[in-house]
Amino acid sequence: MAATTDLVVDLGERSYPIRIGRGLLGCPGLLDEYVPGKQAFIVTNEAVRDRYLDPLLASLPRVDVEYACIGDGEAFKTLDTYATLMDRLVTGGHNRTTAIIGLGGGVIGDIAGFIAATYQRGVAFIQVPTTLLALVDSSVGGKTAVNHPRGKNLIGAFYQPRCVIADIGTLETLPTRELKAGLAEVIKYGVIRDAAFFDWLDDNLDRLLALDATALAHAVATSCRIKAAVVQTDERETGLRAILNFGHTFGHALEALTGYERLLHGEAVAIGMVMAADLSSRWGKLPRADARRIRGLIARAGLPVKPPPVSADAMLEAMGMDKKVVDGRIRLVLTDAIGTAALTDQAPEVAIRETLEAGDALCAE
């Protein structure tokens, strides 16, 4: 096991540690202090189970463990899957001291967290993210949810884990496409909050793509630290926290319009960030050169920068059901400069429409 970085997300009585390191899974005693009783229930999927269930069980020697595999992908993050998992918990006789462990990517973490938040009005939750996206996004913030047919994450809760085990060794078996999708969120943290980190990413992108463990650990720790700083200020997203949604209003609409199948979440966010940069620049807030730089880094990470062919009207309608809407106006996170972002409902509709119709000309000269 490599040296670990421990980060604490400071939320008062709901504070918890994120343990970041390579080879954490399998260490005896790893989870002892976070499992309150003698029972645990692991939510995972088949691919992750085959690789990481055994190491995880080795970290849980004194606990009765059951596990459930759910289907892979957003399409399975539904109330139906939720009800099935609840049935398993009840049938298995899990009591209030059980621990729910989410072993997998963002979908697993979201639904396992919502189960933990609502089984017997809340039981212990432990997150073991195995994708870069989950490591840098879902592991901080306490957002749990399932999707509704009409929109992502419309049903859920804020619920903090007892701890997050961020074993960056799991990234070595991650499909390249998913690694890149995770980089979208990593780049986001630079754009919204830390220009120096954006510069570092610009310089070190190749090391990340080559799975350099030191570079990955730095990127994960910095991302989690930035997200933690934002979440600590605004746990329930009444203000600042909204900036974490940079690129997400566009991205969620793209996901919905392509049936949650064509684009990975990180890919949709990548395109969404290019759209948000384009709109910021079109509206005269962000220098065009910075918009191009954002698009450039996203493209170099091997991420899509051009939206699939969906109409502006369809996008506007899909964005209308997004949670960022308050009383009819579309609220978007936009940026004035790399390293800063803010929520606004003032973007002119004509500029929004131009961005939605720009296609491959997003962030162009």
Q: Which residues are catalytic?
A: 121, 143, 185, 227, 237, 241, 245, 248, 252, 265
Cα–Cα distances (Å) from 52 to 65, 319, 334, in that order, read: 14, 37, 39
Q: Which of 28, 29, 122, 239 binds a copy of itself (CB under 8 A)?
A: 122
Is 239 a binding residue for a copy of itself by CB under 8 A? The answer is no
Answer whether 270's CB lies under 8 Å from 300's CB.
no
236 is a site residue for a copy of itself (CB under 8 A): yes
Q: Which stretch binds a copy of itself (CB under 8 A): 19-27, 138-146, 171-179, 296-304?
A: 138-146
State the DSSP H helix or E strand holding residue 164, giving kind and residue range, or none if neither. strand 163-167
What tokens were used for 233?
């200020």
Burial class (CB in 10 A: 0-12, 13-18, 19+), 23: middle
Residue 113 sits in the site that holds a copy of itself (CB under 8 A): no
**Binding flag, residue 119, a copy of itself (CB under 8 A):** yes
Q: Is 117 in the site for a copy of itself (CB under 8 A)?
A: yes
Q: Tell whether residue 63 is a contact of a copy of itself (CB under 8 A).
A: no
Residue 321 as a binder of a copy of itself (CB under 8 A): the answer is: yes
What φ, ψ does residue 104 adopt, rounded to 5°?
155, -155
Do residues 141 and 176 touch, judged by C-beta distance below 8 A? no
Residue 15 binds a copy of itself, judged by CB under 8 A: no
Return the SS3 of 185.
Answer: helix
Segment interacting with a copy of itself, rule: CB under 8 A, options 1-9, 128-136, 152-160, 302-310: 152-160
Provide the angle, in degrees to the nearest 10, between the axes of the packed helices 288-300 and 265-282: 170
Alpha-carbon distance of 190 to 90, in angstroms, equals 43
Is 118 one of the binding residues for a copy of itself (CB under 8 A)?
Answer: yes
Name which of residues 19 to 38 contact a copy of itself (CB under 8 A).
37-38
Binding status of residue 329 toward a copy of itself by CB under 8 A: no
The answer to whether the CB of 113 falls within 8 A of the CB of 125 is yes
Choose between 102 and 190: whose C-beta lies nearer to a copy of itself: 102
Tokens of 117: 């938040």
The residue within the footprint of a copy of itself, chosen from 11, 316, 325, 342 (CB under 8 A), is 325
Asked if residues 179 and 209 have their Cβ atoms less than 8 Å apart, the reply is: yes
Count of other CB atoms within 10 angstroms of residue 322: 22
The DSSP 8-state label assigned to residue 63 in this structure reads S
Closest CB to a copy of itself among residues 308, 320: 320
Q: Does 342 bind a copy of itself (CB under 8 A)?
A: no
Closest by CA position to 220, among listed 257, 244, 191, 185? 185
132 binds a copy of itself (CB under 8 A): no
Name the residue type at position 291. A
Which is closer to a copy of itself, CB of 93 or CB of 284? 93
Minimum CB separation from a copy of itself for residue 97, in Å? 6
Does the footprint of a copy of itself cover residue 143 (CB under 8 A)?
yes
Nearer to a copy of itself, 90 or 364 (CB): 90
Per rule CB under 8 A, is residue 83 in the interface with a copy of itself?
yes
- Residue 350 engages a copy of itself in binding (rule: CB under 8 A): no
Is 44 an interacting residue with respect to a copy of itself (CB under 8 A)?
A: no
Contact region for a copy of itself (CB under 8 A) — 86-94, 169-177, 198-206, 301-309?
Answer: 86-94
Q: Is 314 in the site for a copy of itself (CB under 8 A)?
A: no
What element of type H or E holds 350?
helix 349-357
* Cα distance between residue 255 and residue 259, in whole Å: 6
Residue environment code for 269-286, b if the CB has 16+ CB neighbours within 10 A, otherwise e: bbbbbbbbbbbbbbbebb
Which amino acid type is present at position 259? G
Question: What are the residues binding a copy of itself (CB under 8 A)?
Answer: 37-38, 79, 83, 86-87, 90-91, 93, 95-97, 114, 117-122, 143-145, 148, 150-151, 153-158, 236-237, 320-321, 323, 325-327
